[in-house]
Chains A and B, each alone.
Chain A
Amino acid sequence: GENVEQHPSTLSVQEGDSAVIKCTYSDSASNYFPWYKQELGKGPQLIIDIRSNVGEKKDQRIAVTLNKTAKHFSLHITETQPEDSAVYFCAASTPNQAGTALIFGKGTTLSVSS
C-alpha cells in the first residue's frame, strides 16, 4: 500500500522567515496531494492541495510543488507569522479496488517565534 514519509518532524523559524516541509510517496498511482494544518485540540483542516496534473499551486503565502517523477511534494510557507505555529500533515490519495484512501505523513510541528 501507499507509504508517505514527511520531513522534518519539527521545524523552528523566526517570524518572517520561510518554512519548507517535504514529503515523499511510494505509490505512483497516487493522484491527489493535500496539506492539512492542525491546531491544538482541533481536527486537521485543509490549507492547500494539488493534483497530479499540476506542478505547482500558490495561495497567498502558501505554495505546494509536486514532482511526479521523483514522487515527492513540498509545502512552502513564506513570511511566517506566529499564528502559523501548528502541526502540518501531508497526505496522498491512492485509488484501489475498494475506493480511494487518504494516507497521511507523520506530521511536522512548526514553531514560529517572534
Chain B
Amino acid sequence: NAGVTQTPKFQVLKTGQSMTLQCAQDMNHNSMYWYRQDPGMGLRLIYYSASEGTTDKGEVPNGYNVSRLNKREFSLRLESAAPSQTSVYFCASSATGRTEAFFGQGTRLTVV
C-alpha cells in the first residue's frame, strides 16, 4: 500500500547545484502535482500534469522544470538551486482534478 512515494526525504544542496526530486504513485492516477510548503504561505502549486504527456505551470514555476516520465512518475528538477528554494516539497496525485488528492511524505530541501 505505497500510495505516493517521494525520494529523497531530506537533501542539502549548495547554491548553484542541481538535483531532481522523484515521485511515483501506484494508484493509476491521471493527475500529478508538485507543491512547495513554506511557513505562512500554505501549499503553493509549482507544476502539475493533468494526464500522461501533459504538464502545465502552477503559481510558482520559476526555477523549476518537470517531467511526466510515464503515468506513474512525475519528477521535479532544480537546475541551479537558490536559497529561496529552501522548502518542503510535496508530490500529490489524484484520479482527476476533481477527486481526492493523495500526498507523499514530503522532501525537506535546504539550499545553503
Contact = CB atoms under 8 A, between A and B. Distances in A.
Interface of A: 1, 6, 9, 31-32, 34, 42-46, 49, 51, 89, 93, 95-96, 98-107
Contacts of B56: 96, 98-99, 101
B43 A99 contact: no
A99 B31 contact: yes
Contacts of B43: 44, 89, 104, 107
Contacts of A107: 42-43
Would you list the 6 A-B pairs with minimal beta carbon distance, nearest first? A100-B97, A99-B50, A43-B103, A98-B56, A106-B42, A32-B98
Nearest to A32: B98
Nearest to A97: B56
Contacts of A95: 97
Contacts of A89: 42-43
Interface residues of B, number: 31
Contacts of A42: 105-106
Contact of B103 (A9, A45, A49): A45
Contact of A43 (B41, B59, B97, B104): B104
Contact of A93 (B44, B54, B97, B104): B97
Given A42-B105, A43-B103, A43-B106, A104 B44 contact: yes
B58 A101 contact: yes
Given A32-B98, A89-B43, A104-B44, A44 B54 contact: no
B28 interface: no
A46 B41 CA distance: 19
B90 A43 contact: yes
Interface in B82-103: 90, 92, 94, 96-101, 103
B100 A49 contact: yes
Given A99-B31, A99-B50, A100-B50, A46 B101 contact: yes
Contact of A1 (B54, B59, B97): B59
Interface string B57-78: 0110000000000000000000
